[in-house]
A and B are shown apart, each in its own frame.
Chain A
Amino acid sequence: MHELATAFSTQSNLLTPIITGIANGSAYGLLGLGLVLLYKSNRIFNFAQGEFATIAAIVAYVFDHGTGFVPKLPYFVAIALGILAATLTAMATERLVIRPLFHRPRVVLVVATIGVALFLIGVEGMLPYPQTASLRTISDVLNVQSYVFRVDNVVVLDQDLAKFLALVLLAIAAFLFFRYTPTGTAILAVSQDATAARVVGISVERISMTTWAIAGLLGGVAGVLLAVPPSGSVTPGSLTGLTLTVAFSAAVLGGMTSLPGAFVGGLGIGLIESFANADHSFVPGLNSLPTAQAEVAVAVVLLVVLLVRPRGLLGKEA
């Protein structure tokens, strides 16, 4: 016998999950953008993307607070330095790890990115600073109230709105970049046929470096946006262990080859998760779901997409 179903409420059964879902989904989308970029250009899964983001958050945190010999810098300078650090890390990864493996099977590259992720987690963990990097929100910095508006008494936090807007802008920018700029076209050309691209005068090495730099930049932006309270603080490995798998599922749902797909997939997975986690007691019989229902839901979506439509919602090919 099940308990009596409670009444359905628009606020707690619909609005709150939607807003949470969009906020979390934006995070998955932001990480997913970098994953899609590298899959689109190199046909690899980059397991180090989560740590690119973590590095940005940590560097921004250290410069914002100023510990030890590190000077305390203005908030926005610290954020910029964090993103720069992520970009440089990605470029170093390309030069030291990816380029020597350029002509190896892609599975070797994927294993190598796992190695990079492990290495970065280890290095971050051994640095002498507090292990939990939690950045101030923009409203904290500007000393204003920490919400922008309410929808039917549900508060929309400015940091969640920032994530969403950043995701929209970056997805559009990346889409336009690939569609209209010479560099973007060159990246696609190299991904289709590196030798042919070289023949028409494209430097494959420079393109590879550019791609990874952009991936690092996207990861960095994701990192500084994800490391804000209350939902986010970043510790070494936390983004890789918890967020990256879901971000991969989001990217697969949207289509690994589609940058707008990262946006669609991110929000889709975010919403699926939040509705799976939400209060189901208004549905008779669903008031005692097993644990980890959000994780199971995401896994089911991933499997169904891969089995039924491997190219995802917006992707071009499998």
Chain B
Amino acid sequence: MKEKFEIDSNSNVLFVTDQCNNRCIMCCQPPKRKDDFDYYYKKNVALVKSAPKETKTVCITGGEPTLSGDRFIELVRLVRNELPDTEIQILSNGRLFANHTLAQLLKEVGGEKVFVGVPLHSDYAGDHDKIAGSKGAFNETMLGLYNLAEEGVAVELRVVICKMNYQRMPQMADYIFKNLYFVSWVALMGMEDTGYATKNANHIWIEPVDYSNQLCKAVDLLDGWGIPVAIFNIPLCLLPQDYHHFAAQSISDWKTRYLDICDGCILKDKCCGLFSTSKKTYQGLKPYTPSF
């Protein structure tokens, strides 16, 4: 986390808390139980007040930022007042928005340039709950998504692909089109190998080469229905060329890493690279050379 914001950075982060009401099996930043709301709130206020007015994007995250309740809403209000043109990105599991009032408040204080990135792990509640490590999480997240949509808050859906959900990626794409047709876009994401993901690797780790069929089918379905879709965190060399234009440079600038073999790759500039925080790299990485 930075001590000062940079205008063009994609990682101007307001970290709200280490606490979370989910225990996602692949969490890269395992939550803590300590009451840290005040500590981070003070830090965040200072960060926002010293930020350049031209800052493009601010990301409010945690842990689960909505757990801080009033302070969460106050923080959004502060950003909106201090940085009226800055886009506010909120990363939340969406559960607390099952309370309609919170969705309403967010819209009220945040205005138009707010979007919430919400992870969805499966179309089947049982699988989602298992991955989120909390029973009832799916239902609350779904109700939260509907409340946000009703208030007109833009929603980005994030699907982290793991061994427990990759097989239903096509079904999930259909589910999203039928039941979450209002989302602004969907990001299908490769896993970061750190935190719980490393600890639970046996149950959840899967190589992109092993799920690329299901991933591409889901991309085809969402794209075919006109829902904007992006592939996050998967280097271009692991994707069929027809799908390169769906891939985004999704990894925060401060934790992007390339391997030595990437130096010879002609697509390096367009590639998301790898997480510097990941313990292991993906299988099958190879540089694109002019003759490739």
Q: Do A and B come from one complex?
A: no
